[in-house]
Amino acid sequence: MLTPLKFQPLFKYRIWGGNKLKTVLNKDYDSESIGESWEISDVPNDETVVVDGSLKGYTLKQLIKEFKGEFLGESVYKQFGEAFPLLIKFIDAKTPLSIQVHPNNEYAKAHHNSFGKNEMWYIMQADQDANIIVGFEKEIDKTQFKQHLEDKSVLDVMHHENVKKGDAFYIPTGRIHAIGAGVMLAEIQQTSDVTYRVYDYDRVDKTTGKTRELHTEQATEVLDFNVESSYKTDYQKELNTSNKLIHSPYFKSNFLPIKGEVKKDYSNVDSFVIYMCVSGQAVIQYQQKDYAINIGETILLPASVNDVMLKSDDAQILEVYF
């Protein structure tokens, strides 16, 4: 029964959301200010469901309960049980996101009974001069940081980096960050919805008429004040090859550009595999059946799906697994 699976995305209103998920990625919704498309989610009360085939209507939790390691991979099932470890999104920021930070596994478990939130970004489109905030520009300590918050000069100590299509960034827990205006990206993260807002431009949410809550005390407890020489991930882009992108203890991701045919054998990968199409379109062939994937779409291969053929005139795929 287990074949490549597509899920129905969940569309999330965000104060900073735009319309690129509809106009660029062809998402089908009628709401305004949609900032996130949750492609594959096991977040409580936000579980995505299979859209077609014999398993139509199944949530991730139901798939794991029924198929266990056959779906997740035996090692993943042994580690996580019936919890799916990743949350997969596309994000469109019309205006900047709040300056924020995420806690690690231990802190999130103690305070929220949740996983921590290590994540990565792959830039799919960026307006001219669009940037992101990632990390600090110079060394500061907690006392200096709190002073910058009080006098609203915190943006002055952040590292701003202009971005373009194809740029990739790893955002480990503790690293301060924000997606800037005009950026659309693919996000891969641990299954967690825990975010500590540090600064939100004093803006008012039109749906509530209020400013959004800040979490400066929690943020200060989990912040990593180290300054890195570079925050961007360098990677190869060899055609028809799984080029190592970001490999962490929490997920692995590769950049897979396709022209022609690529045969993939996952018999040595004890994990589900997720494809996110970030450019073009492709066809996945499995057991003499075709599964189409277009830009802005996501497909999950259960762990028991080992041999697939990918075909495309010109596509770029993010290949994600545990």
For the cut 90, the answer to whether the pLDDT of residue 303 exceeds it is yes
Residue 281 and residue 312 in contact, taking contact as beta carbons nearer than 8 Å: yes
The domain boundary, picked from 222, 251, 280, lies at: 222
- The encoded tokens of residue 251 equal 């997920």
* The amino acid at 71: F
- Clarify whether residues 171 and 265 are in a common domain: no
188-225 tens-digit pLDDT:
999 998 999 999 999 999 889 999 999 999 999 999 99
Whether residue 175 lies in the annotated active site: no
Residues 46 and 100 in one domain: yes
Percent of the chain residues past pLDDT 70, beyond the cut: 100
C-alpha 186/C-alpha 318 separation (Å) is 9
Reply yes or no on whether the pLDDT at 1 is more than 90. Answer: no
Instruction: Quote the percentage of the chain above a pLDDT of 90.
Output: 98
Q: Are residues 247 and 138 in the same domain?
A: no
Residues 201 and 311 grouped into a single domain: no
The single residue of 14, 175, 197, 203 carrying the catalytic annotation is 197
CA pair distance 114, 126, nearest whole angstrom = 32
Domain boundary (159, 189, 222) is at: 222
The pLDDT tens digits of the residues spanning 72-108 come to 999 999 999 999 999 999 999 999 999 999 999 999 9
Q: Which domain holds residue 76?
A: 10-222
76 and 138 both lie in a single domain: yes
Q: What single string gives the DSSP state of each residue in 40-51?
A: E-EETTEE-BB-
* Residue 227 covered by a domain: no
Counted domains in the chain: 2
CA distance 5 to 66: 15
Q: How far apart are CA 277 and CA 88, in angstroms?
A: 12
Q: Are residues 48 and 171 in the same domain?
A: yes
CB neighbour class for 96 (10 Å; exposed up to 12, middle 13-18, buried from 19):
buried
Instruction: Give yes or no for a contact between 203 and 213, defined as CB atoms under 8 angstroms apart.
Output: no
**pLDDT band per the 50, 70, 90 thresholds, residue 129:** very high
Q: Is residue 229 part of a domain?
A: no
Q: Is 252 found in the same domain as 204? A: no
The DSSP code for 270 is -
Q: Is 247 annotated as a binding residue?
A: no
- Let me know whether 176 and 291 are in one domain: no
As a whole number, mean pLDDT of residues 261-269 equals: 97
Segment 150-177, tens digit of pLDDT: 998 999 999 999 999 999 999 999 999 9
State which of 169, 187, 222 marks the end of a domain. Answer: 222
Mean pLDDT (the chain) is 96
Note whether 212 and 124 are same-domain residues.
yes
DSSP string, 231-268: -BPP----TTS-EEEEE-SS-EEEEEEEEEEEEEE-TT
CATH number reported for the structural domain that contains residue 307 in this entry: 2.60.120.10
Residue 1 within a domain = no
Give the pLDDT confidence of 27-51 residue by residue, as tens digits. Answer: 999 999 999 999 999 999 999 999 9
Q: What's the pLDDT score for residue 215?
A: 94
- For every residue of 180-246, DSSP letters joined together read PTTEEEEEEEES----EEEE-TTPEETTTTEEPPP-HHHHHHH------S--BPP----TTS-EEEE
The neighbouring-strand residues paired with 47 are 42
On whether 148 is known to bind a ligand per the annotation, the reply is: no
**Rounded (to 5) percent helix, strand, coil in the chain:** 15, 45, 40
